[in-house]
Every structure is written in structure tokens, then in C-alpha cells.
């Protein structure tokens, strides 16, 4: 009996150690997911003052260019899919705008907002509904990992962006016209050294109402 108990005890200890490890990993994952708060999102997406925006826009680019960008953005509202040339133009127009990259953990080959993704989507929705950001126009940009074909990933990234947009519109009262969804498939990997990493399955939010820098113009 004693020998049997001695054998069982190390197994029990190993099981306890493994259980503790997985619990710590789970807690660490939850902490990483909640590291970006609603306040962080508001701060990252806050536009400059009207005076700053006017000064940069008119002195560096001119009114005609600003109006052209605004007209282009207006043409994308309430669209669910953009052409390749529209995506390229939009990427250039949004390059210097206030933005934040959010790790919204979609499951592989899925656009469903699951339990792991929901806390971050809720934080984003609450932030976009805040008075500081009210009335601004935002891009909701979907991305995939590098596994699979180009067109499959392009469609999937569009579905992810649209899923986040729909959730925010339905639950936080942000007008649908103020959110432009776009997908870039696997063309903008966050971790290019590990194309299949889950961190590549994410959503970027960009405030198109403000100018962050004049360096690109």
C-alpha cells in the first residue's frame, strides 16, 4: 500500500503543477487582452483640435485635396466590399491618421465574435460612443493570418471588419455611416515572421476625421 501511494503522489503533484501552469497562462492571456482599455482607445483615436486640423490640411495639402479625400471617404460609407484600387487609395489616405491596432482574437477561418474577442470589441464600441469621439468617421479594418489563398483571406477579413462594425452599431448607437469597414486579407501581417500566428487575426481602427502628421503629404 505504501509503495502504491508513493507512486501516485508524484503523479498527483505533476497534475497539480500542470493545472497551476494552465491557470496562470489563462490569467496572463486575459490580462493581455484587457491591457488596452476604453480610455486607451479614446486617447489613441482622439483627433487634433479643429485649429490644428485646419492648419495642417490647408497649409500642407490644400482645400481641394482635403475635399477630394472627404468625397472619396463618403463614397465608401455603407459599403461592405471595396475594389483593390479603392483599398490602396484608402490605405494611403489613412496612413497618418490616429489609429490603434487591437488584437481581437478571431478563431481560425472565422468572423464570429466569440467569448475571447468580445471584451475588446465592447471596449472599442464604448470608446467610439464616447463624447470625445462622437461624430467622427472611423475605419474598421479587418486582417487575417497568412494561411490560405488571397481571395479567401480577403473575403474573411471583410467579414471580420463588418462583424465588428455591426456589433458596435447595434449595441452602442454609433451610426453605421460613421463606420467604414474594409478588409486587407493577409497583406498587412502584424507578425510577418510568423504568418500563421493568431496575432495576425486582428482589427485596426483609424480615425479618418483627424490629421495625425503632415509628413506623408
Tell me the C-alpha distance between 217 and 210, whole Å.
14
Query: Model-level pTM?
Result: 0.73
Please list the alpha-helical segments (H only) found in 95-194: 118-128, 150-172
pLDDT digits (tens, 9 = 90+) for 133-158: 988 999 999 999 999 999 999 999 99
Tell me the C-alpha distance between 202 and 190, whole Å.
9
pLDDT for position 64:
60
- What is the total residue count of the chain? 217
pLDDT for position 78:
83
| CA-based max dimension of the chain | 89
Tell me the C-alpha distance between 172 and 207, whole Å.
17
Tell me the C-alpha distance between 149 and 188, whole Å.
14
The three cell numbers of residue 140 are 474598421
- 77 HSE (CA, 13 A, CB side): 16
pLDDT digits (tens, 9 = 90+) for 48-105: 764 444 433 333 445 566 677 788 888 898 888 899 999 999 999 998 899 999 988 8
The three cell numbers of residue 151 are 481571395
Residue 8 — very low, low, confident or very high, per pLDDT cuts 50/70/90? low
Amino acid at each position: 500500500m505504501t509503495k502504491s501511494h508513493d507512486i501516485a503522489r508524484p503523479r498527483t503533484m505533476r497534475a497539480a503543477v500542470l493545472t497551476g501552469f494552465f491557470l496562470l497562462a489563462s490569467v496572463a492571456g486575459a490580462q493581455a487582452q484587457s491591457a488596452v482599455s476604453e480610455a486607451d482607445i479614446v486617447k489613441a483615436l482622439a483627433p487634433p483640435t479643429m485649429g490644428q486640423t485646419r492648419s495642417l490640411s490647408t497649409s500642407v495639402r490644400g482645400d481641394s485635396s482635403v475635399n477630394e479625400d472627404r468625397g472619396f471617404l463618403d463614397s465608401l460609407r455603407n459599403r461592405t466590399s471595396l475594389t483593390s484600387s479603392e483599398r490602396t487609395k484608402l490605405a494611403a489616405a489613412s496612413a497618418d491618421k490616429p489609429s490603434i491596432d487591437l488584437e481581437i482574437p478571431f478563431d481560425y477561418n472565422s468572423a464570429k465574435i466569440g467569448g475571447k474577442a468580445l471584451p475588446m470589441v465592447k471596449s472599442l464600441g464604448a470608446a467610439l460612443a464616447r463624447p470625445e469621439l462622437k461624430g467622427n468617421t472611423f475605419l474598421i479594418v479587418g486582417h487575417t493570418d497568412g494561411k490560405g489563398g488571397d481571395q479567401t483571406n480577403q473575403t474573411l477579413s471583410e467579414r471580420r471588419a463588418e462583424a465588428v462594425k455591426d456589433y458596435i452599431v447595434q449595441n452602442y448607437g454609433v451610426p453605421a455611416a460613421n463606420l467604414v469597414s474594409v478588409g486587407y486579407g493577409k497583406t498587412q501581417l502584424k507578425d510577418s515572421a510568423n504568418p500563421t500566428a493568431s496575432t495576425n487575426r486582428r482589427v485596426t481602427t483609424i480615425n479618418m476625421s483627424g490629421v495625425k502628421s503632415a509628413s506623408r503629404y
